Amino acid sequence: MKTKWKKPKIKHGKLTKYNYLVQYPKQLKIGKDFDIGEFTYINSKFGVEIQDLVQIGSHCSIYSHSTIDEKSGPVILKENCKIGTHSTIMPNVTVGKNSIVAAYSFVTKDIPDNELWSGIPARFKDKIIL
């Protein structure tokens, strides 16, 4: 029997019960039925939106603020997109609806809906036919 999905409790700089960490949770907008893998880090200082049915693998990093190059801006993960394990999403990036970011990818620009991207930096690989 499938258990009903519950929105997780998220506190600034503390691991959730699912072992991922969010800084600035007040700027984190979350949908429902999403899944975030263990040891993922989300910096939502300048806004992060995770829409319904998004899947984020373990050990990912999502930055709305980068202290290395001082870039900042919102990150939007649109409905049903998937982020592969160990991937990094940089500020001012939108990952489109139903799109897939392959494992170990470094995303520095917007990914349109229904596309597969991979690599360092991430580049277009294929269209996703639904």
24-80 pLDDT, tens digit each:
999 999 999 999 999 999 999 999 999 999 999 999 999 999 988 889 999 999 999
Is 126 a member of any domain? no
Is 8 a member of any domain? no
> Residue 41: which domain range?
21-120
Q: CATH number, domain at 79? A: 2.160.10.10
Is 14 a member of any domain? no
Is 35 a member of any domain? yes
| pLDDT at position 7 over 90 | no
Is 6 a member of any domain? no
Q: Structure pTM?
A: 0.93
Give the position of tokens 């596309």: 115
Total number of domains in the chain = 1
Is 81 a member of any domain? yes
Distance between the two ends of the chain, CA-based, in angstroms?
28
Is 1 a member of any domain? no
Q: Which residues contact 6 (CB under 8 A, 6 or more apart)?
A: none
